[in-house]
């Protein structure tokens, strides 16, 4: 197994050892590889699709996936199988030193968004009977989702019931959070371009008739949180360790 720790994001980004960060990414990739649908694709297709992910060419990758699934019976299940096969191919290539962590991180973030858009959204909502429930969510257009994906894996390893919502609209995030009644909801904000939209979502969650701890990470988190009402119970977190600590406070 490749251990290219020089390519792992700085420890300060996650407050975890580099090998632990890589292990979280591998766990996320393994979750994506756990598909239940058919995967009628060739090795050449997998190589080509992975190249599009690594190039972060979302438009081209979306076009290819749509061409494979659009109008076909069981399109969501088919997309699930194809994307799972892509995840397995990425993991195998990483294991044989064909990819660095930096490359895999790009692909994992993009693949997670595709799978939610084309497959996971069709699955029924499943809720464990636990008080340790957390929702991690990203609005459409929030490009830097790797931190949320790795945080979700870290919380799962601490036995939290995790729901990860990538590229979900504000109404869906609020509705899911209301139905799930989580102990905490986590967001990421990398620039202030989306601040108005995120503030609107957080305001609705803060108005729930039960207390929810709201966590915000990312490069613009601290400044963003200082502008929110204190009564909203919103906390800026610098890394995964801080998110875990804050969620359990």
| Dihedrals phi, psi of 133, to nearest 5 degrees | -120, 135
CATH 3.40.50.150 describes domain 133-247: no
- Residue pair 204/236 in contact (Cβ under 8 Å)? The answer is no
pLDDT above 50 (res 29): yes
Model confidence pLDDT, tens digit, residues 78-128: 888 999 999 999 999 998 888 888 888 888 888 888 888 877 555 555 555
The rounded distance, in Å, linking the Cα atoms of 47 and 45 is 5
Q: Which residues pair with 219 in a beta bridge?
A: none
The rounded distance, in Å, linking the Cα atoms of 25 and 31 is 10
Q: Where are the alpha helices (DSSP H) in the chain?
A: 11-14, 18-32, 43-54, 58-69, 75-95, 101-118, 146-157, 170-180, 195-206, 221-226, 240-247
Please report, for the chain, the start and end positions of each structural domain, with discontinuous segments joined by +. Answer: 5-122, 133-247
Model confidence, pTM: 0.82
Model confidence pLDDT, tens digit, residues 48-78: 999 998 887 888 988 998 888 887 777 888 8
- Residue pair 37/80 in contact (Cβ under 8 Å)? The answer is yes
pLDDT on residue 184: 96
Q: Which residues pair with 89 in a beta bridge?
A: none
* 120: its two tokens: 């996971």
Model confidence pLDDT, tens digit, residues 162-211: 999 988 899 999 999 999 999 999 999 887 767 899 999 999 999 999 99
């Amino acid at each position: 197994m490749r251990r290219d720790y020089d390519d792992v994001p700085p420890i300060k980004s996650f407050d975890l050892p580099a090998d632990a960060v890589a292990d979280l990414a591998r766990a996320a990739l393994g979750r994506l590889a756990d598909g239940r649908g058919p995967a009628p694709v060739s090795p050449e297709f997998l190589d080509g699709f992975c190249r599009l992910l690594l190039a972060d060419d979302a438009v081209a990758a979306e076009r290819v996936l749509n061409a494979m699934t659009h109008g076909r019976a069981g399109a969501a299940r088919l997309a699930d199988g194809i994307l799972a096969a892509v995840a397995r191919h990425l993991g195998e290539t990483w294991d044989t030193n064909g990819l660095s962590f930096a490359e895999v991180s790009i692909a994992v973030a993009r693949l997670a968004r595709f799978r939610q858009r084309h497959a996971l959204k069709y699955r029924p909502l499943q809720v464990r009977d636990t008080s340790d429930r957390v929702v991690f969510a990203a609005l459409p257009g929030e490009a830097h989702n790797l931190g949320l994906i790795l945080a979700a894996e870290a919380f799962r390893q601490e036995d939290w019931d995790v729901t990860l919502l990538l590229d979900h609209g504000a109404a869906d995030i609020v509705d899911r959070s209301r139905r799930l009644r989580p102990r905490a909801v986590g967001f990421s904000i990398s620039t202030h371009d989306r601040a108005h939209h995120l503030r609107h979502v957080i305001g609705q969650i803060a108005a729930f008739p039960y207390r929810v701890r709201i966590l915000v990470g990312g490069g613009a988190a601290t400044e963003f949180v200082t502008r929110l009402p204190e009564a909203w119970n919103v906390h800026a977190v610098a890394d995964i360790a801080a998110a875990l600590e804050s969620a359990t406070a």
